[in-house]
């Protein structure tokens, strides 16, 4: 088969069928091939743009689903971070404040990490930055949770000790209100009933009939049970721990022995008038870290605010003590 082309011959003024040279044939074949390839590629691109395969549609649906999941995770992370912050604030502002301990330092509450890029394996993808940011937030939340867990363990231990402290602190009157004749004498300067001189009275005197029950005002251990013919007379000392001791003097009878463990509200003896005393009453003292303090500040479990104010007012009257 010969490759020919119709051409106009100016000499004969006629259109003639002229054979093509090898070069012309190769050029024609190449041009037609390129045209076919161009049309084919354009067709494939157009079909790909207008019509997706089932695999492509499934892939796009999965991508959309994963992007939606990323959005949900971001929202959940925000809620968890807010909850974590609320727990931290409660820990510092409520629990630790009540227990009287300082808040957790910021560098321990939110510990950081340094070093190399810990998210290098997720770089180079469309959502790399988003995934990397979420992973960093998750890691930060995990560190905060560990720090908060340690803090709560400490708070729990302190709360258990605080509960023991509350049970040990002297917090009630040693004699029931209904058994009291009157509040004979309180904390401060008083006229001594025997020596008739103005002396400081380091305690409170509860006037009550002989034999009236006397109660331990807090949990503790009896460290002294002694009978004297002057001074405190028959008296008991209870060590409550945490620096607290209480003394109960001029008793007619003691119902405990040295070394006994007692609980708040337990009857430890009876009111009397032994030792340097002019009438039946209980002399009561509270010691904190070896220093005598005003017992009037330690009846918060036993009296209403009005009763406390009335008791405090009566105890501050400068009259004659009973011992």
196-210 residue pLDDT tens: 666 777 888 888 899
Q: What span, in angstroms and rounded, lies between the C-alpha atoms of 71 and 41?
A: 38
- Structure-block tokens of residue 160: 């258990």
Q: What span, in angstroms and rounded, lies between the C-alpha atoms of 252 and 280?
A: 9
CA 297 to chain centre: 30
- In degrees rounded to 5, what are phi and psi of residue 206? -105, 110
Is 148 or 25 the better-scoring residue by pLDDT? 148
Alpha helices (runs of H) in the chain, residue ranges in sequence order: 22-50, 54-90, 96-99, 106-109, 128-168, 305-315
Q: What angle do CA 59, 63, 65 make, to 5 degrees?
A: 115
Other beta carbons within 10 angstroms of residue 267's beta carbon come to 12
pLDDT tens digit string along 33-66? 888 888 888 877 776 766 666 777 777 777 777 7
Q: Tokens 């040279």 appear where?
A: 21
Q: What span, in angstroms and rounded, lies between the C-alpha atoms of 191 and 8?
A: 150
- The residues, ordered by sequence, that sit 6+ positions from 11 with a Cβ below 8 Å of its Cβ are none
3-state secondary structure 24-37: HHHHHHHHHHHHHH
Q: What angle do CA 10, 15, 18 make, to 5 degrees?
A: 95
Q: What angle do CA 81, 84, 85 make, to 5 degrees?
A: 85
Q: What span, in angstroms and rounded, lies between the C-alpha atoms of 17 and 8?
A: 9
Using pLDDT thresholds of 50, 70 and 90, give the confidence band for residue 139.
Answer: confident
Most confident region among 64-68, 140-144, 183-187, 271-275 by mean pLDDT: 271-275
Q: What angle do CA 29, 32, 37 make, to 5 degrees?
A: 120
**Burial (0-12, 13-18, 19+ Cβ within 10 Å), 32:** exposed
- Structure-block tokens of residue 24: 């012309």
- Structure-block tokens of residue 245: 């001791």
pTM of this structure? 0.53
- Structure-block tokens of residue 52: 């997706």
């Amino acid at each position: 088969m010969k490759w020919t082309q119709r051409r106009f011959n100016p000499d004969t003024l006629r259109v003639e069928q002229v054979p093509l040279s090898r070069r012309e044939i190769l050029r024609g074949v190449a041009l037609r091939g390129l045209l076919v390839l161009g049309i084919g590629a354009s067709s494939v691109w157009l079909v790909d743009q207008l019509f997706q395969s089932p695999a492509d549609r499934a892939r796009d649906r999965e991508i959309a689903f994963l992007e939606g999941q990323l959005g949900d995770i971001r929202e959940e992370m925000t809620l968890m971070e807010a909850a974590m912050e609320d727990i931290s604030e409660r820990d510092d502002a409520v629990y630790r404040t009540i227990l009287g301990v300082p808040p957790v330092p910021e560098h321990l509450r939110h510990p950081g990490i340094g070093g190399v890029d810990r998210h290098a394996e997720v770089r180079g993808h469309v959502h790399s930055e988003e995934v990397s940011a979420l992973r960093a937030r998750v890691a930060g939340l995990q560190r905060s949770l560990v720090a908060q867990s340690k803090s709560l363990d400490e708070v729990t231990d302190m709360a258990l000790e605080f509960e023991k402290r509350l049970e040990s602190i002297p917090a009630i009157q040693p004699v029931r209100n209904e058994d009291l004749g009157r509040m004979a004498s309180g904390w401060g300067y008083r006229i001594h009933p025997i020596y008739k001189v103005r002396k400081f009275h380091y305690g409170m005197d509860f006037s009550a009939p002989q034999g009236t029950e006397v109660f331990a005002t807090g949990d503790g251990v009896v460290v002294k049970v002694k009978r004297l013919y002057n001074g405190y007379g028959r008296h008991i000392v209870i060590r409550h721990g945490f620096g607290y001791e209480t003394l109960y003097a001029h008793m007619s009878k003691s119902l405990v022995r040295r070394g006994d463990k007692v609980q708040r509200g337990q009857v430890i003896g009876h009111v009397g008038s032994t030792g340097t005393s002019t009438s039946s009453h209980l002399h009561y003292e509270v010691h904190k870290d070896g220093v005598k303090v005003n017992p009037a500040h330690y009846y918060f479990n036993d009296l209403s605010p009005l009763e406390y104010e009335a008791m405090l007012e009566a105890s501050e009257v400068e009259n004659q003590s009973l011992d």
